[in-house]
Amino acid sequence: MLALVDGRNVIPTIVLDNGTTLQEPSNAELTAALQLNDSKTKELTMTDQATTPTHDVIIVGAGPCALTAAIYTTREDIDTLLFERGVVGGLAAVTEKVDNYPGFADGIEGLTLAQNLQKQAERFGAVIELGEVTGLTDEGKFKRLDTTSGDMLARVVLLATGSDYKKIGVPGEDTYYARGVHYCATCDGAFYRGKTLAVIGGGNSAIQEAIFLTRFATHIDLLVRSTVKASDVLKQEIMKLVDAGKITIHLGVSIDEIAGENNEVTKVLATKSATAEKVEFPVDGVFVFVGLDPNSQFIKNTTIRRDEIGLVITDQNLQTSMPGVFAAGDIRSGATMQIASATGEGATAALKIREYLEGQSHPPQN
């Protein structure tokens, strides 16, 4: 629901029967608030290894890559469980329109694509559980996963956790989060009907979201650190809005601070790189689109190798440095960060997982 609580515009906002209001609660907070941590739950989840829930495959994440992998594994009658800590469909589900996914000549809404993938995976028997995986341990034949539902074992694990929106790290960004600073135009753009906005970033995502936000805002200042690096098609689209006076592009601008009053954003303070001139942009809200951070923190204490920014390193079979653990999609080092390629990697990972499981069941004879 859309709600203004304590000055914060946040989706989701959950109001319980007892009057308690939760905004973007974690799984643990929601579980505690709903009093789900009773003795029966503990009896089911806090078990010894002999009775720990065990699956052929546990997929961490439920975005397009994970859902595609689940379609392939479950069609092979491979017992598959998916863990998702956020939104089923991942970033695709909060993308207003996907215009470059093959087979949809007029594009498709991101949420519709995500829902279709979910329905297809569940039709073949995939089970999706809302929860978080907090740790992963190699126990030989099985991998132990620490989750918010208790320990679980899997013969194979597929890491398909994707990435989250990257922050710019300036004063005021955290202070005004959900009070004027946002990272999802389709989620929060409707709060700014008739308002002025700043969009920070110069890549494809920033340009796409700026174009989308013109549905609501009267004017948008696009603040770009260097140059616009979007595709030629998007450059042509945004220039039409520049000519119409809906968007002003400011190149060579470094953000210094997001400032405000009375728990509301009022301006963005910046510096022109070429002249060191200090500039201010009066706005009602700020949307940040400067890239993605991989969701790989939960494996940082494992033997799984990651690159310098945290993306998971795999071999040609999409297997990580921990045997029986695979990675695919936007979490994988070398991924192209496109929905179409993520679904392709999901299918490839599922086929490699099947081969791995068959090798376990029928080890080579000496």
The pLDDT tens digits of the residues spanning 109-123 come to 989 999 999 999 999
Q: Indicate whether 51 and 154 sit together in one domain.
A: yes
- How many other CB atoms are there within 10 angstroms of residue 122's CB atom? 16
Q: Are residues 274 and 329 in the same domain?
A: no
Would residue 316 count as lying in a domain? yes
Instruction: Give me the percent of the chain exceeding a pLDDT of 90.
Output: 73
The domain of 140 spans 41-164+293-361
Q: Please, which residues bridge with residue 197 across strands? A: 220, 285
Assess if residue 108 is contained within a domain.
yes
d(CA 25, CA 197): 27
How far is Cα 200 from Cα 182, in angstroms, rounded to an integer?
A: 11
Query: Which pLDDT belongs to residue 346?
Result: 98
Domain contains 171: no
Any idea which of 33-47, 62-76, 221-235 has the lowest mean pLDDT?
33-47
Domain check: are 73 and 127 in the same one? yes
Q: How many Cα atoms are found within 13 Å in the side-chain-facing hemisphere of 79?
A: 7
Domains contained in the chain, number: 3
pTM of the model: 0.71
206 and 132 share one domain: no
Last residue of a domain, one of 261, 290, 319: 290
149 belongs to a structural domain: yes
Q: CATH no. for residue 114? A: 3.50.50.60
**Distance of alpha carbon 222 from alpha carbon 289, whole angstroms:** 11
Q: What is the pLDDT of residues 128-148, one digit of tens each?
A: 999 999 999 999 999 999 999
- Please indicate, yes or no, whether residues 9 and 24 belong to a single structural domain of this protein: yes
